[in-house]
Amino acid sequence: MDKTKKIGVLLGGSSSEREVSLRSGAALLAAYQRLGYPAVAIDTQSGRDLPGQLLQQGIEVAVIALHGPLGEDGTVQGLLEVMQIPYTGSGVTASANCMNKVLSKRLFQAAGVATPAWEELRIRAGAPLSDAQRSHLHEAWQDTPLFVKPVSAGSSVGICRVADLTALENALQAAAAAAAQPGEEADILLEQEVVGREITLAVLDEETLPLIEIKPVSGFFDYQNKYTPGRTRYLIPTESLSESEIQRATATGLAAGKALGCRGLYRVDMIVDQQGTAWALEINTIPGQTETSLAPKAALAHGLSFDALAERILAGARLDPCCVHK
């Protein structure tokens, strides 16, 4: 990458993942400054003035360190396409598809990628379920452990594990509250729990990094376990997978990324069941770069320092080839 080009690290944003994004962006910014790149931070908290900031700062390349809606969902990517500023990570369509868990599920299924059974439910935040909804849920999910997730959120925000129907309505309301304001409709994903070993595969420019096995000290890999040091063990190499299971999970992760059109650095979260099948859960198109984040751990195990990883991310900045620029 040309070290004369002005780099803008887009961070912060206005989503519930703002604090994580600030930490990711600060880490990347420090790396680029150590490497001698002319880089500045661009806080996108007020999206209305983002074009003005980019123009005023003379940004020629954007490194996207945003997490969640209005940053990781194709919206900022679309703006950068219009402004013809090359950017890191996946393009507009892939970003939107990966942020929407229901679209991801449909594309996984169309491509033959194993993914847990699921259902989409639309509810109104702060309002009770209808009798028809309760009746359907009782019939469809009785005695089935499942996860309740907002359709469009990351960092495990709003996710609950439900062991029985008595806790389901509270979990649905918690997910809706994380996704919408009171009275607004929220799309919620119900996903059947797959019992097994939780793993993640980071992919960098179509090159797979070592699998990481994720073992929270207690509970599942929720927001607190994800971002609180010491609450989760990360095993590289994995502790419980055979070589054939590693190969199959790696193939599943690559197939999932291809199905959704991902590029640059992305991370595929999976569960490997007792029969060795890897089930794709979702794809993170802008993996975190904090001290507890998974992609930097995988890169380090592959022999890439954080600064080297940051430079590889930067080198992949480009405009989407499906867009026409004259």
Q: What is the pLDDT of residues 282-301, one digit of tens each?
A: 999 999 999 889 999 999 99
Position 41 scores a pLDDT of 98
Which residue, 175, 192, 209, sits at the end of a domain? 192
Assess if residue 107 is contained within a domain. Answer: yes
67: nearest Cα among 7, 17, 121, 102 = 17
pLDDT bracket for residue 95 (50, 70, 90): very high
Same structural domain, 232 and 107: yes
What distance in Å separates the CA atoms of residue 290 and residue 295, rounded to the nearest whole number? 9
Assess if residue 324 is contained within a domain. Answer: no
Where is pLDDT greater, at 139 or 295? Answer: 295
Position 167 scores a pLDDT of 85
Position 323 scores a pLDDT of 59
Task: Specify the number of domains making up the chain.
Answer: 3
Same structural domain, 66 and 123: no
Q: Which residues contact 78 (CB under 8 A, 6 or more apart)?
A: 92
pLDDT at 325 over 70: no
| Domain enclosing residue 253, as ranges | 97-114+194-312
Same structural domain, 179 and 217: no
Same structural domain, 160 and 198: no
Q: What is the CATH number of the domain that holds 298?
A: 3.30.470.20
Dihedral sign, Cα of residue 78, residue 81, residue 87, residue 92:
positive
Assess if residue 110 is contained within a domain. Answer: yes
Assess if residue 288 is contained within a domain. Answer: yes
Which residue, 134, 164, 192, sits at the end of a domain? 192
- Which stretches within 70-130 are classed as H helix? 75-83, 92-99, 101-110
Q: Are 39 and 62 contacting, i.e. CB atoms less than 8 angstroms apart?
A: no
Position 138 scores a pLDDT of 86
Q: What is the CATH number of the domain that holds 46?
A: 3.40.50.20
Position 322 scores a pLDDT of 67
Position 48 scores a pLDDT of 87
Q: What is the CATH number of the domain that holds 185?
A: 3.30.1490.20
Q: Which two tokens stand for residue 231?
A: 């609450």
Q: Please name the residue that has the structure tokens 């590693």.
A: 246
Q: Is 80 left (phi over 0), alpha (psi -120 to 50) or beta?
A: alpha
Average per-residue pLDDT for the chain: 91
Position 292 scores a pLDDT of 85
Assess if residue 319 is contained within a domain. Answer: no
pLDDT bracket for residue 165 (50, 70, 90): confident
Same structural domain, 45 and 122: no
pLDDT at 221 over 60: no
Same structural domain, 151 and 237: no
Assess if residue 1 is contained within a domain. Answer: no
Q: Return the amino acid letter for 91.
A: G
**pLDDT tens per residue, range 227-271:** 566 678 899 988 889 999 999 999 999 999 999 999 999 999 999
Q: Which two tokens stand for residue 242?
A: 């055979």
Same structural domain, 233 and 144: no
Work out the average pLDDT over 95-118: 97
pLDDT at 28 over 80: yes
Position 99 scores a pLDDT of 94
pLDDT bracket for residue 225 (50, 70, 90): low
Position 324 scores a pLDDT of 53
Work out the average pLDDT over 65-80: 95
The residues annotated with a catalytic role in the active site are 17, 155, 227, 267, 269, 282, 284, 288
Assess if residue 317 is contained within a domain. Answer: no
Q: What is the pTM of this model?
A: 0.90
pLDDT bracket for residue 106 (50, 70, 90): very high
* DSSP-derived secondary structure for 275-294: TS-EEEEEEESS---STT-H
Position 222 scores a pLDDT of 58
From residue 250, alpha-carbon distances to 208, 278, 279 in Å are 8, 9, 11
Same structural domain, 109 and 217: yes
Position 239 scores a pLDDT of 82
pLDDT bracket for residue 163 (50, 70, 90): confident
Same structural domain, 204 and 249: yes
Same structural domain, 283 and 307: yes
Same structural domain, 106 and 17: no
What distance in Å separates the CA atoms of residue 317 and residue 80, rounded to the nearest whole number? 11
Percent of all residues in the chain with a pLDDT value above 90, rounded to a whole number? 70
Position 156 scores a pLDDT of 60
What distance in Å separates the CA atoms of residue 215 and residue 218, rounded to the nearest whole number? 8
Same structural domain, 176 and 161: yes
Which residue, 168, 192, 216, sits at the end of a domain? 192
Position 46 scores a pLDDT of 82
Assess if residue 325 is contained within a domain. Answer: no
Work out the average pLDDT over 154-180: 81
80: nearest Cα among 54, 58, 106, 103 = 54
